Every structure is written in structure tokens, then in C-alpha cells.
Amino acid sequence: MANRKYSASQRAQATELILTHHRPATLVARDMSVGVSTVHRWVSDALAAGSEWETGAAPTRPAGPSREFLELQIRDAHLRLGQLEAQLERLRLGRERVADAAPVTARTHLPGQNIGC
């Protein structure tokens, strides 16, 4: 198969498509980061409540997830966050390669204008 040459506008459209397609991954990573913070807060609250119960300061065992469950949630959230960070780094590097290979140029003529080839 012969190599096909793409016009600057086709390369610009491809670059924009790639950048637009992968933008949601950034939002997912941000949400994961918030999720990790939330799990950390749950654990600290549960540990504080558990300590009060163990020392007798609280009359009954606190309701809610067990310490082991929360620790597993933290470990899982950290693993997923690490995977997302690695994925975002790969996407960032891919964007740089696409941007280097296909620079976006300003439009020099109006749509429909015959520029002569």
C-alpha cells in the first residue's frame, strides 16, 4: 500500500479529534483523585470512631464499613489512580507526538475559495 499524503487541514482535524477524544480521561483522573481523598477521610473517621469504641469512650461499636474493608478500598483506589496517571502520561506523550508530526496551521483561505493546486 502506498503512503498517502495528508493535507494540513486533515492533519489538524485528526489532531483535534485525538485531543477531544482523550480529554475525558483527565476528568476521570480528577474524579479518582477526589475519590481517593474521600476514602482517606472515611478511614480516618472510622479509625477515630473505632478508637473511641475500643477505649470505652463510645458505648457501641460504630456503624459503617470495617477497617479492613476501608483499607482495601484505599489500596484499590491508589492502584486505579496509578493506572490512570500512567494512562494520562501516555496520552500526553501521544498528543505531543501528534502535535509535532502535524502542526496546526492557520487557515489562509475561505471555505469554498479555489486556491489552485
Q: Residue 7: its pLDDT value, please?
A: 72
The whole-number average pLDDT for the span 2-29 is 62
Q: Which three cell numbers stand for residue 89?
A: 502520561
Inside any domain, residue 2: no
> How far, in Å, CA of 40 to CA of 36, rounded?
6
Inside any domain, residue 117: no
Tens of pLDDT along 57-67?
A: 655 655 666 76
Q: Residue 103: its pLDDT value, please?
A: 55
State the pTM of this model: 0.36
**How many residues can be counted in the chain?**
117
Determine if residue 63 is left, alpha or beta; phi over 0 gives left, psi from -120 to 50 gives alpha, anything else beta. Answer: beta
Inside any domain, residue 63: yes
Tens of pLDDT along 70-109?
A: 777 777 777 888 888 888 888 878 777 766 665 555 555 5
Inside any domain, residue 49: yes
Q: Residue 3: its pLDDT value, please?
A: 47
Of residues 86 and 34, more confidence is placed in 86
Inside any domain, residue 113: no
Inside any domain, residue 1: no
Inside any domain, residue 48: yes
Whether 102 and 15 have beta carbons less than 8 Å apart is answered as yes
Domain count, the chain: 1
Domain enclosing residue 45, as ranges: 8-101
Inside any domain, residue 108: no
